[in-house]
């Protein structure tokens, strides 16, 4: 969209205008990234864009007690997020105040057409950064009309594990590092990078600044602020190794809260990239080649790990994790074998390993943890598209509830050089 003559009424376009403008672009024109140009819109009191903007920003609070609740759930692939809106009579503070709802599961790959109704149970509430006011985002899980969790409902099983008295007593903390890649529209290639060009394994993109190093910073920053507004426990963000790749961290979060916060943050990121006209990818290796993939490293600790003598507890946890390596790998995300190659700060998918300050291991222990004799461990195996309900609850189950045989424990301790 161009303005041929300078206009005193011109102003930078806002994010809410992106989607309507992108629909009007000439499809024959090669896609141009938002980092290369600025779109300008002429302000007009009667302009369609301005009228739409006014309605989108309309504050309804002085006129009604009603709010809009966006019910969010996980679709049939186990990674796609779905949502629909519902008017609620008044503001609410707890999910228990919200009604259950239903959706057509045959349209999401979660139910047959002749028995398609799936029931949504509200589980967690966040402030809605898109609508503002008292409007909310609602994280839900899905059940049959008879009250049974459907197969893609991983939250239900996680909630059972986190409600176990042994697990609750240990107050499990999680810090999850969500990596993602921004791709250009119509082509599967990183944002801001010439299609087909290959920068090689060493690049200036990790925590880089500059027009030739950082692609999509506005999306990362918009997401950061939107998460803070929503009440998500986001703790930081940074540019990653591959062009167009970013990371944000959520935590420390306790128990089931970790999964709720990650799924809410993913939904917000999907909405922001939708507005910006950029494709979001959580694929662990979106671009084949000699460069980094995308992971979801999960930092984990229990009360016993954080107290004096905790390093011995951490080593016992590592021992258990080594014995269930295949179980964890099978639950840590689709396509992870393309990422866990033993290169680019990953361990081989077939071999369990651990080390202090070693990012090429399955489990990394920080220098401070070793020095202080207590702290946390980092599981570097989960892929960027992992289900946080599955990963967090599996870590708790393996380290707090599962007990290996003495023979297996002794053999594993010798194999990975752990004295427990």
pLDDT tens readout for residues 93-132: 999 999 999 999 999 999 998 889 999 999 999 999 999 9
pLDDT band at 418 (very low <50, low <70, confident <90, very high): confident
pLDDT band at 410 (very low <50, low <70, confident <90, very high): confident
pLDDT band at 1 (very low <50, low <70, confident <90, very high): very low
CATH class name, domain 165-415: alpha beta
What global pTM score does this model have? 0.86
Q: 405 to each of 164, 167, 412, 419, how far by Cα in Å?
A: 22, 21, 11, 16
Query: What's residue 220's pLDDT?
Result: 97
For helices 388-396 and 257-276, the axis angle rounded to 10 degrees is 160
Query: Of residues 18 and 308, which shows the higher confidence score?
Result: 308
Percent pLDDT > 90 in the chain is: 68
Query: Of residues 35 and 390, which shows the higher confidence score?
Result: 390
pLDDT at 19 exceeding the cut of 70: no
Lowest mean pLDDT among 57-61, 145-149, 218-222: 57-61
**CATH topology match: 67-152 vs 165-415:** no
Query: What's residue 245's pLDDT?
Result: 92
Mean pLDDT along residues 397-417: 84
Please tell me the distance from the alpha carbon of residue 239 to that of residue 206, in angstroms, as a whole number.
5
pLDDT band at 27 (very low <50, low <70, confident <90, very high): very low
Residue 13 contacts residue 41 (beta carbons within 8 Å): yes
Query: What's residue 9's pLDDT?
Result: 39
Query: What's residue 47's pLDDT?
Result: 66
pLDDT at 33 exceeding the cut of 90: no
Using CA of residue 87, residue 91, residue 94, residue 96, what is the dihedral sign? negative
Query: What's residue 30's pLDDT?
Result: 41
pLDDT band at 267 (very low <50, low <70, confident <90, very high): very high
Please check whether the domain covering 67-152 is classified as CATH 3.50.50.60: no
Could you tell me whether strands 101-104 and 234-239 are parallel, antiparallel, or unpaired per DSSP bridges?
unpaired
Query: What's residue 187's pLDDT?
Result: 85
Query: Of residues 19 and 376, which shows the higher confidence score?
Result: 376
Nearest to 102 by CA among 84, 88, 89: 84
In the chain, where the domains are located = 10-56, 67-152, 165-415
- State pLDDT tens for residues 57-103: 888 999 999 999 999 999 999 999 999 999 999 999 999 999 999 99
Mean pLDDT along residues 48-54: 79
- State pLDDT tens for residues 344-403: 889 999 999 999 999 899 999 999 999 999 999 999 999 999 999 999 999 999 999 998
Residue 91 contacts residue 60 (beta carbons within 8 Å): no
Residue 55 contacts residue 85 (beta carbons within 8 Å): no
Paired with 297 in beta bridges are 177
Lowest mean pLDDT among 15-29, 100-114, 175-189: 15-29
Nearest to 21 by CA among 327, 275, 358: 275
Mean pLDDT along residues 273-295: 91
pLDDT band at 5 (very low <50, low <70, confident <90, very high): very low
Highest mean pLDDT out of 16-30, 183-197, 241-255? 241-255
Nearest to 371 by CA among 358, 356, 355, 353: 356
């Amino acid at each position: 969209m161009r303005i041929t003559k300078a206009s005193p009424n011109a102003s930078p376009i806002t994010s809410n205008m992106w989607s309507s403008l992108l629909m009007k672009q000439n499809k024959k024109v090669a896609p141009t990234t938002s980092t290369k140009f600025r779109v300008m819109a002429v302000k007009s009191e009667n302009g369609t864009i301005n009228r739409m903007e006014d309605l989108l920003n309309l504050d309804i609070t002085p006129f009604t007690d009603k709010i809009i609740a966006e019910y969010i759930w996980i679709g049939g692939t186990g990674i796609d997020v779905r949502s629909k809106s519902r008017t609620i009579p008044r503001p609410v503070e707890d999910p228990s105040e919200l009604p259950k709802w239903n959706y057509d599961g045959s349209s999401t790959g979660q139910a047959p057409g002749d028995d398609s109704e799936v029931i949504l149970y509200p589980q967690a509430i966040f402030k809605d950064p898109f609508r503002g006011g008292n409007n909310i985002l609602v994280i839900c899980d899905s059940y049959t009309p008879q009250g049974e969790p459907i197969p893609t409902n991983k939250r239900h099983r996680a909630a059972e594990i986190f409600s176990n008295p042994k697990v609750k007593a240990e107050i499990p903390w999680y810090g999850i590092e969500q990596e993602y890649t921004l791709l250009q529209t119509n082509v599967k290639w990183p944002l801001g990078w010439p299609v087909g060009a290959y920068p090689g394994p060493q690049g200036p993109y990790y925590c880089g600044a500059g027009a030739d190093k950082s692609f999509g910073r506005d999306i990362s920053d918009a997401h950061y602020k939107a998460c803070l507004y929503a009440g998500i426990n986001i703790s930081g963000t940074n540019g990653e190794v591959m062009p167009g790749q970013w990371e944000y961290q959520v935590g420390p979060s306790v128990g089931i809260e970790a999964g709720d916060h990650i799924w809410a943050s993913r939904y917000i990121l999907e909405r922001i990239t939708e507005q910006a006209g950029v494709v979001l990818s959580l694929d662990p290796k979106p671009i084949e080649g000699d460069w980094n993939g995308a992971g979801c490293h999960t930092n984990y600790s229990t009360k016993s790990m954080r107290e004096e003598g905790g390093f011995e507890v951490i080593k016992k946890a590592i021992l258990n994790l080594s014995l269930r390596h295949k179980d964890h790998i099978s639950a840590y995300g689709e396509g992870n074998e393309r990422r866990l190659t033993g290169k680019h700060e990953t361990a081989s998918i077939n071999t369990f390993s651990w080390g202090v300050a070693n990012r090429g291991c399955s489990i990394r222990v920080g220098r401070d943890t070793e020095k202080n004799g207590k702290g946390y461990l980092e599981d570097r195996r989960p892929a960027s598209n992992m289900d946080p309900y599955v990963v967090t609850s599996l870590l708790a189950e393996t380290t707090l509830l599962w007990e290996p045989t003495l023979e297996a424990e002794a053999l594993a301790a010798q194999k990975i050089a752990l004295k427990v």
